[in-house]
Amino acid sequence: MTRTPSNSAEAGLARSQVFHTPDLPKGPPRAARARWWIAILLFLVTLINLIDRSSISVLAPVITSQLGLNNLQFATMNTWFLVAYAASQALSGRFFDRVGTRRGLGLAVVVWSSAAMAHAFARGFASFACCRVALGIGEGGNWPAAAKVTAEWFPARERALSISIVNAASALALIVSPPLVFLLQSRFGWPAAFLVTGALGLVWLVLWLLFYKAPERDGSFSLDENVIPQDLASSAGAQRIGWFELLKCRQVWAIVLARFFADPIWWLYLIWLPLYLHNTRGFSMQQVGFSAWVPYLAAAAGSLAGGWTSGYCIARNWSVDRARKAVIVVAAFLMLANILAATARGPLPALIFIGLVLFGFQSWISNVQTLPSDFFRADVVASVAGLGGLGAAVGSILLNQATGYVVDRFHSYTPVLVAASVLPLLATAILLLLGGPIRRVEISREVQTSG
């Protein structure tokens, strides 16, 4: 149940506010610097998040060999991670909207860093699965927190760039992780790799607790200076909106379903790329360690390009709706390169086409992840982002399990890659048709009082 402006005066004001981002006062230089320092903190924690998450994929050839795990068992371990991750995304988004991101994200980092280090002591399928569940519970908080912090600190024209910086960290982590984890494993053994990478989050936590404050409590500026989006001030005294009320909004379902179909592309390569290169393309463990990062370099470029492009267009008087959708549509078509990756004759062309897929995905997701803050006020952004993450995780669970089954049954990744090529187009079609114009949605008064 949503409300849009009813008379022509209101409609005109809405168009001026939504389709063309107003020029906000720059405010004190200290405040402007503060939000970019916060973006750097989000960049660093996301870098650590993905290093911790991907370590098991880099070590998969060693672990599966030593423990005698088949592809379906490896898939199932990661599915348990995704189940916990899905639940955590939805719950942590709601939790952060209640307790704030400083305490909420700090707690999430403690949980996932401890779980990452606990992998060092796992010695079988069951113990690894338990560690993956604990890791998923903690790591699920990262993206709702990033969405909420972005909504609180950044105006609309800078949000996609801020999110793209965070997304670039996820790609950079997958550039750093293969050689880092391989070197730790080759010198000290795979348990040491988990211990060292898991401890990174605890180091970051010290910086977070020392430097981060919620914007309304930061003494460097006040809300009256318009340095941060006005919906934070307007929502401060509003009643909380529950999940049931949010799920009545078609824009929420557009985000959830779009991510359900598109996000599995990212997880497909995050989980399976090292094994794919090792088992299908004949890479040694050393070659995996020093080449699996190549597609993620393209992913980092795609993240920055997607966020920068929509922000550039908005600054050139494109509407938010037109700028976001233009990037989203182009990026969806780039992901058709999955077909080329599946049919490439050599490992180098395959890596190049996978890089093109990930470039497209990161451009796509950098804009899709801004939609909760484009559509909704700041105090529900983390909840909406969490629901979107829930949809993404459920879709990824299904594709992950299907991949393990198909590879064990047919000894080929080609059916999975070909099928995955159409998912981004389906996701984008749902987003455009169900979401409608990208403009601020107001939860109606009736819905507010019913929650």
Q: Find the CATH number of the domain harbouring 333.
A: 1.20.1250.20
Tally of structural domains, the chain: 1
Whether residue 230 is contained in a domain is answered as no
442: DSSP letter = E
Contacts of 410 (CB under 8 A, 6+ apart): none
Structure tokens at 177: 């992780």
Whether residue 3 is contained in a domain is answered as no
With residue 49 as reference, give the H or E element that holds it: helix 29-58
CA-CA distance, 115 to 138, in Å (whole number)?
Answer: 8
CA-CA distance, 44 to 355, in Å (whole number)?
Answer: 23
Least confident of 200-209, 213-222, 343-352, 404-413: 213-222
Residue 258 has pLDDT above 50, yes or no: yes
Per-residue pLDDT tens digits for 72-124: 888 888 889 989 988 888 788 778 878 888 888 999 999 999 999 999 998 88
Least confident of 28-42, 57-71, 293-307: 28-42
308 CB burial (10 A radius; 0-12, 13-18, 19+): middle
Nearest to 288 by CA among 194, 189, 182, 184: 182
DSSP notation for 223-246: GGGT-S-HHHHHTTTSPP--HHHH
Whether residue 84 is contained in a domain is answered as yes
Instruction: Give pLDDT, residue 289.
Output: 76
- Answer yes or no: are the C-beta atoms of 371 and 435 closer than 8 Å: yes
Whether residue 42 is contained in a domain is answered as yes
Whether residue 185 is contained in a domain is answered as yes
Q: Report the Cα–Cα distance between both ends of the chain, in Å, rounded.
A: 13
Site of tokens 């230089």: 29
* Residue 6 vs residue 34, higher pLDDT: 34
Whether residue 310 is contained in a domain is answered as yes
pTM of the model: 0.70
Whether residue 235 is contained in a domain is answered as no
* Residue 21 vs residue 144, higher pLDDT: 144
Structure tokens at 15: 């168009």
Site of tokens 């050139």: 316
Residue 22 has pLDDT above 60, yes or no: no
21 — pLDDT class (breaks 50, 70, 90): very low
Instruction: Give pLDDT, residue 239.
Output: 56
Boundaries of domain holding 322: 29-216+241-450
236 — pLDDT class (breaks 50, 70, 90): very low
29 — pLDDT class (breaks 50, 70, 90): low
Looking at residue 207, its amino acid is L
What are the C-alpha distances in Å from 219 to residues 37, 78, 299? 15, 43, 37
Site of tokens 């494993």: 185
- Answer yes or no: are the C-beta atoms of 85 and 393 closer than 8 Å: yes
Whether residue 4 is contained in a domain is answered as no
- Answer yes or no: are the C-beta atoms of 139 and 85 closer than 8 Å: yes
Site of tokens 């730790």: 184
